[in-house]
Amino acid sequence: MWNDESGAAASLAPARAPVATPAGPGRRPKIGLALGAGAARGWCHIGILREFEAAGLKPDIIAGTSIGALVGGCYAAGELDAVERFSLSLSRRRVLSLLDLSFSGGGIFSGVRLREMLEAALIGKTVEGLSIPFAAVATEISTGHEIWLRSGPLARALNASYALPGLLEPLNVDGRWLFDGALVNPIPVSVCRALGADIVIAVNVVSDSMFRGTVIGDRNIGDETTDVLAKKVEDVAGRGWLGGVASPTALIKRRLRRGAHDGPGVASVMLDAFSITQDRIARSRLAGDPPDVLINARLEKFGLFDFHRAAEMIEIGREIARRRLPDILEHASMSKAVERSVTTA
């Protein structure tokens, strides 16, 4: 079942989101973990979850948006090891090899290879069958509604949640075209509360994400990435899809690799525009529904497309979690039962 922000369920019958029951004597408060969007920077979530595991802190509820949904959903499915291995296996060239250019769909890349890989890794796993209650957040294109994916194939829910507008094709789920949930709820605190969390820990991986004072040319896609994309365009041209384009390599390099005096290339414009929008929405949502504990990961030195730098971001996630664990334990709303089950690193 999915729910949209209006409370309508799949059958279009009225539905009321569950409300957290106040923790009473003898009942341990339920801990919700809201994992935010942030493209490649979301590999940081892996390190945070690793430190929580080491400390004995296990969330009772997980909600994720975009890459937060990918990492959170795999964790809930017992596949955190697999997603960590995958992230560490990525080189810049392999990242690009997983993206299949599309000139006929709703994105630059069709995302078919990524979808098939995730479906194979999570075959037979459903959202409702997870041991930890989980929801992935997506956006419906036609209405702008916030969609909570609560049932059905896990891989489908994750694919819909991270379908970055303009880059990856949207996904059709039960007749609705969905893409990245970061456009409506980048850090899904509200979803955790609706699923019954008494205490919500939120992770923001795009805090202060804009690169102040740097040279525009430094933000562009690098030479190696450009070369791989150019080769993909040449392959397409070889199949006759680009007709009169005389030099596809020159075309892609002109569009993606720009000089410092030319301004940002098209990919940089798309990613930065999305990042700015996500940041403003996240600030607004957090102001209206703040979490009990907010973990802000400072990842300014990483680009949204730096998927090949997972090892660095995972380690940063570990360091951040180690620093914040005492704050989590000392939170006034947490019971002695939680304190006994968690030790500081």
Contact 299, 44 (CB under 8 A): yes
Contact 161, 185 (CB under 8 A): no
Contact 248, 234 (CB under 8 A): yes
Q: Which amino acid is at 345?
A: A
Question: In DSSP terms, which residues pair with 62 in a beta bridge?
Answer: 33, 134
CA distance 78 to 76: 6
Q: Which two tokens stand for residue 224?
A: 């190696």
CA distances to 23, 38, 134, 252 from 158, in Å: 31, 14, 11, 30
CA distance 43 to 84: 8
Would residue 174 show up in a list of annotated catalytic residues for this protein? no
Where are any strands of DSSP class E within 18-70?
A: 31-35, 61-65
**Tokens 């789920």 correspond to what residue?**
173
| Residue 108: other Cβ atoms inside 10 A | 20
CA distance 331 to 3: 31
Q: Which two tokens stand for residue 111?
A: 């995302």
State how far Cα 271 lies from the chain centre: 14
Give the pairing type, strands 166-168 and 31-35.
Answer: unpaired
Q: Which two tokens stand for residue 168?
A: 């990856």
Contact 197, 60 (CB under 8 A): yes
CA distance 318 to 315: 5
Catalytic residue among 60, 66, 190, 275: 66
Would residue 180 show up in a list of annotated catalytic residues for this protein? yes
DSSP notation for 181-227 = GGGT-SS-HHHHHHTT-SEEEEEES-TT-S-TT--GGGGSPPHHHHH
Catalytic residue among 4, 60, 180, 198: 180
Please give the positions annotated as active site: 66, 180
